[in-house]
């Protein structure tokens, strides 16, 4: 399957897997102070948000307990930006993963002795798994 835009990606069926944040109930929600951006950067952010809304990756929320800022990160390609979110405070309120990602040297060693190795790039792969909705106790569409 090939995807050239966010709307081309069906995502993983929520009946198979759904991501859920385990936020420590003792943690107090954090509302980050709003960052200011130059008008040309606001346009970049709005364009990306419109794409994500249209693809169904994000949805508008009127009132949220946690508020995190958008962060623009320059790509290697001159004039291109990656729109990210600063989830530092939310990450601090979540427990550490008991099963961290493997180390790069272990991954490289595991490929030795193979005659064929395939690499696949998941276009915006972090948008493939739906979030569990605590309000409805289900995944969207699930």
CATH number at residue 46: 3.10.10.10
Asked if residue 107 belongs to a domain, the reply is no
pLDDT for position 141: 44
- The proportion of the chain whose per-residue pLDDT surpasses 70, expressed as a percent, equals 80
Asked if residue 10 belongs to a domain, the reply is yes
Asked if residue 100 belongs to a domain, the reply is no
Across-strand partners of 85? 70
Asked if residue 55 belongs to a domain, the reply is yes
Instruction: Quote the number of domains for the chain.
Output: 1
Across-strand partners of 82? 73
Place of tokens 């929600």: 29
Residue 34 has what DSSP assignment?
Answer: P
**pLDDT tens-digit map of 14-51:** 788 788 888 899 999 999 999 999 999 999 999 999 98
pTM of the model: 0.70
Asked if residue 142 belongs to a domain, the reply is no
Asked if residue 104 belongs to a domain, the reply is no
Mean pLDDT of 72-82: 91
The conformational region for residue 137 under phi > 0 = left, psi -120 to 50 = alpha, else beta, is left
Structural domain including 34 reads 6-95+121-127
Per-residue pLDDT at 64 exceeds 80: yes
């Amino acid at each position: 399957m090939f995807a050239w835009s966010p709307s081309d990606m069906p995502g993983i069926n929520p009946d198979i897997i759904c991501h859920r944040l385990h936020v420590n109930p003792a943690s107090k929600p954090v509302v980050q102070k709003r960052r200011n951006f130059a008008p040309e950067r606001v346009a970049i952010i709005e364009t990306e948000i419109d794409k994500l809304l249209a693809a169904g990756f994000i949805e508008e929320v009127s009132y949220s307990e946690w508020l995190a800022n958008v962060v623009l990160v320059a790509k290697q390609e001159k004039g291109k930006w990656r729109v990210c979110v600063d989830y530092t405070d939310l990450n601090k309120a979540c427990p550490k993963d008991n099963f961290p990602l493997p180390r790069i040297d272990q991954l490289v060693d595991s490929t030795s002795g193979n005659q064929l190795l395939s690499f696949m790039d998941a276009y915006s792969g972090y948008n493939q798994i739906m979030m569990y909705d605590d309000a409805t106790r289900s995944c969207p569409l699930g």
